[in-house]
Amino acid sequence: MIRLFHLLIFVMVTVLTGCDSIKRVGEIKHGTGFSAAEMCSRLFVSQEAETLIVEDVIRHKVFPLTWVWHVDINREDKQVSVSAPFIPGLNKKTAVYREGIGCSVLDDDAPESLAVTAVKKHDLDAKRISEIPVDISASAQAAIQPWFEETTADSFRQQNTYAVLVMKNGKIIAEQYADGHGKDVPMLGWSMGKSLTALLAGVLFDQDKLTIDDIALPASEIHPLPVRVKHLLNMSSGLEWDEVQYSGASDASEMLYLEPDSAAYVATRPQIAQPGSKYTYSTGDTQLLAKFISDRVGGGGQAVYDFYQKELFHKLGIGSAFFEHDPAGTFIGGARPFLKPRDWLKIGLLLQNKGRWNGEQVISEEWIDYLLTPSPANPYYGGTIWLGDEEVLGFPDDMFSMRGHLGQYMTVIPSQDLVILRLGILHAEDYPTQVMARTLEISQAISD
């Protein structure tokens, strides 16, 4: 009776507040999972302040959950448990930090075989860590200032910008960080990881270990037609998928916070369209690709960690980047990459230079061209990379971008030799337009 009473209170609060995030009692566990994951990763990876994490990141995503939750932070064991409403342990989700691969969300009853273990880190020799030259321009620095100026008291519409960097002609000409952040802080790129995953597929392509026509999901009773690598890159698998949000009930949040094996969950989704015929944005598609890549390099966990460190990050002189892994060991290529801001710029420069880095062809130009080719189902989307912008007009025709949840954006304009990176937390529904409009202003100010 007591538990029912508390649940009824939560329902009343949700209904009366017109909540846009946690709308039903059945969504509470999605919210506690999201909260545990963000608190764990941002405390133990990015080392952000607890108050900032709750106020900037979590509160608006799971409101009104923060009114009634119980949070247990174990700093010694690097674990975060969140339960709600009111009663500790109710709808509990726990995120556990593992050295080298960040945090994973586990159920209390998760079998030991699914508990993610730490990996053996491969620290890059300091002599091999490459730095992008810095030559700050006063005019470029002035152009990025509006990103850090809050013009409203409405916290839902505040910009919460953590980092903005501008690189032109291979040099950083503008760079600014919010308090608590800086050039040495690993920052979550969310769906910008999809483009990183596509680059890893390119490594296998160049090694003759992958083609775009390889079958990633075989035909079955619920999948009448096979899903190929090209369909996953183009977000056109034909699988039923609800991305919507990462805190309430959706396929994306179910996969990230409730399921121990992300790729296995995606494979349960029925096929509702012919592969290649319909664009549906899906982190699930990228997780199938991440699983495919993992299998090709010897499995998840240590094997795939070694692969993406050696074959991509270390070749760019990046020594601290990683993906978080799900409990089954698959790297969460669609949503959980952590890189320092200047290292994110290196990815943009690699794409701008058609896969070349310091004279070495890290990824073939053929593969980069494929990623930058409009997909059959969406002319504004290539191989995990956004091409142009449907809403904000005025960019050069060759502009493309990597985009992540809550406003993680890196825009590349090859004709201007320009890369613009923005990291932070934007909750407003129109944040894609906000980010790209501001990016256009910066690009025009610099090119004038």
- pLDDT (tens digit, 9 = 90+) per residue, 15-28? 434 344 565 566 88
Maximum mean pLDDT: which of 62-66, 246-250, 360-364: 360-364
- Residue 22: the pLDDT is 60
On the question of pLDDT at 5 being above 70, the answer is no
Sole residue written with tokens 């953590």: 162
On the question of pLDDT at 314 being above 50, the answer is yes
Print burial letters for 189-199: b (CB count within 10 Å at least 16), e (below 16): bbbbbbbbbbb
Sole residue written with tokens 């999901």: 217
CATH code 3.40.710.10 region(s) in the chain: 164-447
pLDDT tens for each residue of 122-166: 777 766 778 999 999 999 999 999 999 988 888 788 899 999 999
* Segment 327-345 mean pLDDT: 97
Instruction: Quote the CA–CA distance of 376 and 358 in Å, as a whole number.
Output: 33
Q: Give me the sheet containing 171-177, strands edge to edge.
A: 171-177, 161-168, 418-424, 408-413, 400-404, 386-387
- Work out the percent of the chain whose per-residue pLDDT is above 70: 91
Instruction: Quote the CA–CA distance of 424 and 159 in Å, as a whole number.
Output: 8
pLDDT tens for each residue of 212-252: 999 999 999 999 999 999 999 999 999 999 997 665 679 99
- Residue 32: the pLDDT is 94
pLDDT tens for each residue of 92-107: 999 999 999 999 998 7
- Residue 279: the pLDDT is 98
* Segment 83-88 mean pLDDT: 81
Amino acid at 269: R
- Residue 123: the pLDDT is 77
Instruction: Quote the CA–CA distance of 150 and 212 in Å, as a whole number.
Output: 45
- Those residues with Cβ within 8 angstroms of residue 26's Cβ, 6 or more apart along the chain or in another chain: 249
Amino acid at 116: V
CA dist 283 to 57, 190, 311, 367, Å? Answer: 20, 10, 23, 21
Instruction: Quote the CA–CA distance of 57 and 240 in Å, as a whole number.
Output: 28
Instruction: Quote the CA–CA distance of 335 and 344 in Å, as a whole number.
Output: 15
Q: Is 268 helix (H, G, I), strand (E, B) or coil?
A: coil
Instruction: Quote the CA–CA distance of 331 and 284 in Å, as a whole number.
Output: 12
Which helix (H) or strand (E) segment is 412 a member of?
strand 408-413
Pick the CATH number of 164-447 from 3.40.640.10, 3.40.50.720, 3.40.710.10, 2.40.50.140: 3.40.710.10
